Amino acid sequence: MSVTRSPVEEVEHDRRVATVVLHAVGSSSEATPDSRNTGRERGWRRWAVPAALVGIAALALFLRVWQLDALGFNSDEAVYAGQAASLAGNPNYTPFFPVFRAHPMLFQTLLSPFFRTGEVDVAGRVVVATLGVATVLAVHLLGARLYGRRVGLVAALFVAVMPYHVIVTRQVLLDGPMVLFATLTLYCLVRFVQGQQVLWYVATGAMLGVTMLTKETSVVMAGGVYAFLALTPMVRRPVRLSVLAVAAMLAVFLTHPVSQALAGRSQTGKSYLVWQLFRRPNHSMGFYAETVPAAMGLLVVAAAVGGLWWLRRHRSWRETLLLSWIAAPVVFFQLWPVKGFQYLLPAAAPVAVLAARALTGMPVPERIRRLLRRADRPRDAGATRAVRAALVAVVALSLLVPSWNAVNRADNATFLAGSGGVPGGREAGRWLAANTPKGSVVLTLGPSMANIIQYYGHRRSYGLSVSPNPLRRNPAYEPLPNPDRWLRNNELQYVVWDSFSAGRSAFFAERLMVLTRRYHGRVVHTEYVDGTDRTGARVPVPVIIIYEVRP
């Protein structure tokens, strides 16, 4: 017969059991050889967890910095790095990247000291990679607090080698740092539930405010907190404490709109909100189901789901909390028309913890134990640990292989927004900076390539596909209502075609080529990647073509 305890009672029960065990172990007054061996074993175990954690962190850092500079920035990276450079007063970027565009500025402020002079890209990625490793350590703290050190280590290992987290934390995007703060928010909430201390409840609200200050869409995580508290009546949640926690969250987050107002840029935030509300869908409803489970690791997802069933008799508030934290971003962004590869990253940490819980606590079938010929109890326990360790190793390897393949794929003609850099973009921008007159103006197919050209080429760029309708465009982008007239008046000197934008918009790709031919476009530079023809032979594939045009 199982006894239902509140979270505080569970913690107190575990503490009493641990005290009794330690007292029994240390009660012997005679230092026998066995006791000395036991002491050495305890000393080894004391250092085993820190040593394993250091190894996991080193592996995580290696995967996030290996060939980190193989590709240049994609569009979003260029925007955030450009904002950081403008904050630092870097003259190369202040004409092209205004400080206030759309998102809050916490992450860009953290980056700005590294962008004071010159052209910087790899330093920004190193900062994000370091924050990614910090997230791995935070996942260990979360898992250890919920289920013990073993689960914490395994969960940290899974996040360290998870392709989803590795790919995103190799880019200058808001999502990697945001997930660090979101995981710390979850940790603070766990500490509050276990100890019912006011400080941890207020810290939960403040840390959620920091998370929102990194990326405002993380406000959906507040829904996860609310869902957990609503589904777990055994957790004490006084109204006064809740008001205090919400006040702490708002006090932190309001620094963003207040700073916008003081800078006279409140209209920028309002325009961005209107644009987000009226954006057209950019992917099908099945986008996340097709991309995210594979990026998280199919075996990890299967272990997390299977563990909820295998260990259903041991369910508690912990699973409710993790499932609520997963459901908040999954439900919101599935219903939201605009979808991005990295948007569900906050769910990676709780999925990893659930998978670690399953693999370290799942029952091993009797048939397998008999095959291993472990009859007596101590050996049987050793066989169980061996089987679980083997399963953890298999799952970790299933994550490590695709992550290693992803970080070594430096040249690819295909591109998914939020999944990596743009082949040839940096090289094309640098070519424009070195071979075109200062003050030259460039027409690109879309705003994504325009951002890259402005970051690396320091040339004003306009996207042909930017809509003149304010409800249909990012307010940070300036449209060209009549590009034909600009070309005729020699206000545009170069045209840039890229295969990534052309693959998304055949109409504007054709329109760009019509204008290029009309104004005597001449190819002056081409960027290639390795591809294959119909016979399988390797051939160079053009991905970016720069044309010089004249009236």
Q: Is the pLDDT of residue 242 over 90?
A: no
Q: Are 243 and 198 in contact (CB under 8 A)?
A: no
The DSSP letter of residue 379 is H
Q: What is the pLDDT of residues 20-74, one digit of tens each?
A: 333 433 443 344 444 444 555 555 567 888 899 999 999 999 999 999 998 899 9
Q: Tell the burial category of 141 from Cβ atoms under 10 Å away from its Cβ (0-12, 13-18, 19+).
A: middle
Q: Are 83 and 110 in contact (CB under 8 A)?
A: no
The DSSP letter of residue 471 is G
Q: What is the mean pLDDT of the chain?
A: 85
Distance CA 153, CA 141 (A): 9
pTM of the model: 0.87
Distance CA 187, CA 455 (A): 37
Comparing CA positions, the residue from 62, 66, 57, 61 lying closest to residue 156 is 57
Give residue 235's pLDDT. Answer: 84
What does the pLDDT average to over 392-414? 83
Distance CA 221, CA 88 (A): 31
Give residue 104's pLDDT. Answer: 82
Q: Which of 333-337, 489-493, 530-534 has the lowest mean pLDDT?
A: 530-534
The share of the chain scoring above pLDDT 90, in percent, equals: 60
Distance CA 398, CA 142 (A): 23
Distance CA 347, CA 329 (A): 7
Encoding tokens for residue 359?
């693999």
Q: Are 342 and 173 in contact (CB under 8 A)?
A: yes
Comparing CA positions, the residue from 480, 474, 484 lying closest to residue 461 is 480
The distance from CA 198 to its chain's CA centroid, rounded to whole angstroms, is: 30
- One-letter amino acid at 453 equals I
H or E element: which one contains 460? strand 460-463
Question: What is residue 323's three-state secondary structure?
Answer: helix
Q: Is the pLDDT of residue 360 over 70?
A: yes
Q: Residue 460: left (phi > 0), alpha (psi -120 to 50), or beta?
A: beta
Distance CA 269, CA 251 (A): 18
Q: Which residues contact 370 (CB under 8 A, 6 or more apart)?
A: none
